[in-house]
C-alpha cells in the first residue's frame, strides 16, 4: 500500500511537470475564478453585517453627536415617547455602541484601539408605526433637523444603497466566477487529456498486463485534483488581501455612514477559504474525472 502511494505521487508529479505551461494556465484560472467566488461571498457577508442594525422592524436610526447635550437627548426622547408615529425604539448609548463596534471588529484590534466610548455616537433605533417609505423619509427629515442630531440613516435608503452595491458587485463577480470556473474545469480536462495522450503506450501496456481501471485512473484524477487545489491555494491569500484592503477601504470611506459596519469577521474569511479549497478540489476532480471516463475507458 505504501509502495502504491509513492507510485501515485511520483506519476502525478512527473506528469504535472511534463506539461508545465498548460498546467500553469489551468492553475491560474482556477485561482482567479475562486478568488472571485470568495470576494463575492465576502462582500455579501459584509453587506449583511452592515445592515444587521436594521432588524426587527427598525426603519431608521437617529445618530446623535458624540458630545450631544443631555437636554438635546431629552427633547428627542420626548418626541419619541409621545408621537403616535413611533411604535417603539431602543436607545444605544456610547458604551453599548462601543461594545457593538468591538464585537464587529473583534479581529481588527488596531481599529478598536483607535476609538474610545467617548467618540462613539449614541443612537436611537426606531420602529415607526407605519413602515411606508415616504412616511419614514418624512420622519427622518424631521429628526435630522433637531439640535444635537448628527445624522439619520433610514433603512430604505441605507439598506438599499448597501444592498444595491453588494448585489451588483457580488453578482457581477459571481457571474465572472461561474464562467471562469467552467473555463478552468475545461482547462483541467485538457491538461489531463494531454497527460493521457502523452502516455498512450504506457496506458495500453497497463491495460494489457491487467492493471485495474482505478489504478490507471488515479494518477490522472490526482493530477487534476492537485491543479484545483493549487489554484485554490493561490486564491486564499487573495481573499485575505480583499478582506484587509478592499473591505477596509469601505470602512474608512465617509461616503456612506453604514459602510463603517462593512466588516467581515476573520472566522468567516477562514471558513470561506476552506470552501474555496473544497470547491477547487472539486473542480479538479470533476474536470479530470470527465477526461478520464471520456478518454481512458476500455
Task: Please tell me whether residue 133 binds another protein under the rule CB under 8 A.
Answer: no
Q: Which three cell numbers stand for residue 144?
A: 435630522
Query: Under rule CB under 8 A, which residues in 153-182 are in contact with another protein?
Result: none
When the beta carbons of 42 and 216 are compared against another protein, the nearer one is: 216
Separation CA 32–CA 26 (nearest Å): 10
Which of 294, 130, 266 has the alpha carbon at shortest distance from 196?
294
Query: Under rule CB under 8 A, which residues in 193-232 are in contact with another protein?
Result: 201-202, 204-213, 215-216
Sheet of 123-128, strand order:
86-92, 123-128, 60-64, 149-154
Task: Please tell me whether residue 5 binds another protein under the rule CB under 8 A.
Answer: no
Number of C-alpha atoms within 13 angstroms, CB side, residue 99? 5
When the beta carbons of 208 and 255 are compared against another protein, the nearer one is: 208
Task: Please tell me whether residue 102 binds another protein under the rule CB under 8 A.
Answer: no
**Residue 216 Cβ vs another protein, minimum distance, rounded to whole Å:** 8
| Residues binding another protein: number (CB under 8 A) | 18
**Residue 241 Cβ vs another protein, minimum distance, rounded to whole Å:** 42
Task: Please tell me whether residue 298 binds another protein under the rule CB under 8 A.
Answer: yes
Q: Which helix (H) or strand (E) holds 30?
A: helix 20-50
At 89, is the secondary structure helix, strand, or coil?
strand
Separation CA 12–CA 5 (nearest Å): 11
Cβ(162)–Cβ(51) under 8 Å?
A: yes
**Residue 195 Cβ vs another protein, minimum distance, rounded to whole Å:** 15
**Residue 205 Cβ vs another protein, minimum distance, rounded to whole Å:** 6
Q: Contact residues for another protein (CB under 8 A)?
A: 3-4, 7, 201-202, 204-213, 215-216, 298
Amino acid at each position: 500500500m505504501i509502495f502504491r502511494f509513492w507510485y501515485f505521487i511520483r506519476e502525478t508529479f512527473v506528469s504535472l511537470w511534463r506539461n508545465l505551461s498548460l498546467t500553469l494556465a489551468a492553475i491560474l484560472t482556477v485561482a482567479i475564478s475562486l478568488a472571485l467566488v470568495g470576494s463575492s461571498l465576502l462582500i455579501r457577508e459584509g453587506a449583511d453585517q452592515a445592515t444587521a442594525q436594521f432588524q426587527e422592524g427598525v426603519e431608521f436610526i437617529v445618530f446623535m453627536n458624540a458630545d450631544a447635550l443631555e437636554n438635546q437627548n431629552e427633547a428627542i426622547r420626548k418626541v419619541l415617547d409621545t408621537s403616535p408615529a413611533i411604535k417603539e425604539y431602543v436607545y444605544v448609548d456610547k458604551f453599548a455602541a462601543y461594545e457593538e463596534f468591538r464585537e464587529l471588529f473583534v479581529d481588527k484590534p488596531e481599529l478598536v484601539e483607535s476609538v474610545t466610548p467617548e467618540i462613539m455616537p449614541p443612537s436611537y433605533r426606531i420602529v415607526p408605526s407605519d413602515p411606508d417609505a415616504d412616511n419614514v423619509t418624512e420622519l427622518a427629515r424631521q429628526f435630522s433637523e433637531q439640535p444635537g442630531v448628527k445624522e439619520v440613516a433610514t433603512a430604505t435608503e441605507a439598506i438599499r444603497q448597501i444592498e444595491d452595491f453588494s448585489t451588483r458587485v457580488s453578482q457581477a463577480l459571481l457571474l465572472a466566477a461561474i464562467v471562469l470556473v467552467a473555463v478552468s474545469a475545461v482547462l483541467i480536462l485538457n491538461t489531463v487529456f494531454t497527460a493521457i495522450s502523452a502516455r498512450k503506450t504506457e496506458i495500453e501496456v497497463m491495460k494489457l498486463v491487467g492493471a485495474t481501471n482505478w489504478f490507471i485512473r488515479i494518477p490522472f484524477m490526482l493530477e487534476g485534483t492537485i491543479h484545483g487545489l493549487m489554484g485554490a491555494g493561490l486564491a486564499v491569500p487573495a481573499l485575505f488581501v480583499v478582506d484587509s484592503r478592499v473591505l477596509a477601504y469601505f470602512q474608512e470611506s465617509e461616503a456612506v455612514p453604514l459602510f463603517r459596519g462593512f466588516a467581515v469577521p476573520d472566522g468567516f474569511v477562514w471558513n470561506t477559504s476552506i470552501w474555496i479549497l473544497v470547491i477547487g478540489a472539486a473542480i479538479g476532480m470533476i474536470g479530470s474525472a470527465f477526461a478520464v471516463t471520456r478518454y481512458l475507458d476500455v
